[in-house]
Structure 1
């Protein structure tokens, strides 16, 4: 099974090439930068850091995918290779990342407006039947959420298409959509498993987010864990480092198996 094989490939590659953890550390530490305004109370600096991270992230992800591919193939998985691949594909990945963000936000806004219209209808429906209005409201929210997730699922492989197959920005999105359409059941199962397992590694980060709000972990969890920020932050960075390194290696391995399978099917026709 492609999904199981990809997870095995990721474990084998990461165990044989701990260099992948360095890229994971960059992302793990970078993901914590979004909380800088809460720590130093400077929203302008936070906005600057977030923008800088958007610019740097394509470089990191490009280098990581290239290094993960080399590790899976058993070739040159080194820092030199990391920076070479990152520089080679950076501009296309930066532009594609901006397009990806615009697609997701466009979908969210578009279906958000649809949900707003349905919400107005739900308010009118309240006069007739409160339960029916509640159900209609829940359905509109679910439609909004599912629509965003579907768009993400179909275009998610744009970065691997650029790095592994050297596609242009537009061809990368077409390639991603085509692969997902041809392997819809497999990709859906992989995406759900990948997302759920990845988020397990981000639990300390989510707890850290709660400490940055008025709620706090104790208001969400049945017990107060009593974990201070000074402990949650390094644990969050460590787990997100390992999580990113492993699961994005799995992500790369899965894409490589998808394109190999599609090539084999074309050759057999």
Structure 2
């Protein structure tokens, strides 16, 4: 978590510069990472807290509803199961909705130089103004980005005694010493690419939405 804000600042700033036709460099990446580090770190902490509090709060409500659904067992067992599963699905949906609305805090900090609190307000405003578009983008983004989490499985192999088939569903026949660096490289390239797309999408959002928070 400590390194993530630095990487976010560097990737988003570099992506913005490239999209706008400006020169990019490793030095610029490092400078941006340092410049936005504190705000992105605080923003990341706040993001985790918001999502965590949401999960706990709605989780408590779902728990109460789950207890209530147990009473349905006396009436109809299947109805009780449906009610229990339904409460869990609603809980997950509400968490995803919260994430949907605050997800652009990092881009708001780097691209628009917002403060930590204003970056969350800006994110909510942009999502609210472009709800259909952002929902579609977020679904595709979530699926594709998670593809590049595969190196975490490879890293797990190096940190545990598990074999390749214990972590991955197939045996590739390739030594882990080769798979790991390849996976990390592909993950880094994919991360850079997806955050370029992410930044480009954010730039499009702010072009079509009011740039000031007074309109919120």
Q: What is the TM-score of this pair, normalised by structure 2?
A: 0.86
- Report how far residue 239 of structure 1 moved: 2.7
* Partners of 2:179 and 2:208 in 1: CA distance: 42
Does the 8 Å contact 1:207/1:232 carry over to 2? yes
State the SS of the aligned residue for 2:114.
coil
Q: 1:196 to 1:127 in 2, by over 3 A?
A: same
Unmatched runs of 5 consecutive residues or more in structure 2: 212-216
Q: 1:136 to 1:210 in 2, by over 3 A?
A: farther
Structure 2 residue 71 is the aligned partner of structure 1 residue 124: yes
State the SS of the aligned residue for 1:100.
helix
Does the 8 Å contact 2:153/2:168 carry over to 1? no
CA RMSD of aligned residues (A): 2.6
- Report how far residue 236 of structure 1 moved: 3.1
State the SS of the aligned residue for 2:188.
helix
Q: Which residue of 2 aligns with 1:107?
A: 54
Does the 8 Å contact 1:62/1:90 carry over to 2? yes
The equivalent position to 2:132 in structure 1, one of 178, 185, 189, is 185
Q: Which structure 2 residues correspond to residues 129-168 of structure 1 after superposition, within 5 A? A: 129-168=76-115
State the number of aligned residues.
Answer: 210
Q: Which structure 2 residues correspond to residues 1-269 of structure 1 after superposition, within 5 A? A: 54-203=1-150, 205-206=152-153, 217=165, 221=169, 229-263=176-210
Q: What is the TM-score of this pair, normalised by structure 1?
A: 0.70
- Report how far residue 206 of structure 1 moved: 4.5
* Partners of 1:80 and 1:214 in 2: CA distance: 39
Structure with more helix by fraction: 1
State the SS of the aligned residue for 1:244.
helix
- Report how far residue 207 of structure 1 moved: 6.8
Q: 1:239 to 1:130 in 2, by over 3 A?
A: farther
* Partners of 1:67 and 1:136 in 2: CA distance: 48
State the SS of the aligned residue for 1:55.
coil
Higher relative contact order (CA 8 A, sep 6+): 1
- Report how far residue 210 of structure 1 moved: 8.7
Does the 8 Å contact 1:210/1:216 carry over to 2? yes
- Superposed CA deviations along residues 2-56 of structure 1, whole A, max 9, x for unmatched, are xxxxxxxxxxxxxxxxxxxxxxxxxxxxxxxxxxxxxxxxxxxxxxxxxxxx222
- Report how far residue 202 of structure 1 moved: 2.6
Does the 8 Å contact 1:67/1:81 carry over to 2? yes
* Partners of 2:80 and 2:156 in 1: CA distance: 33
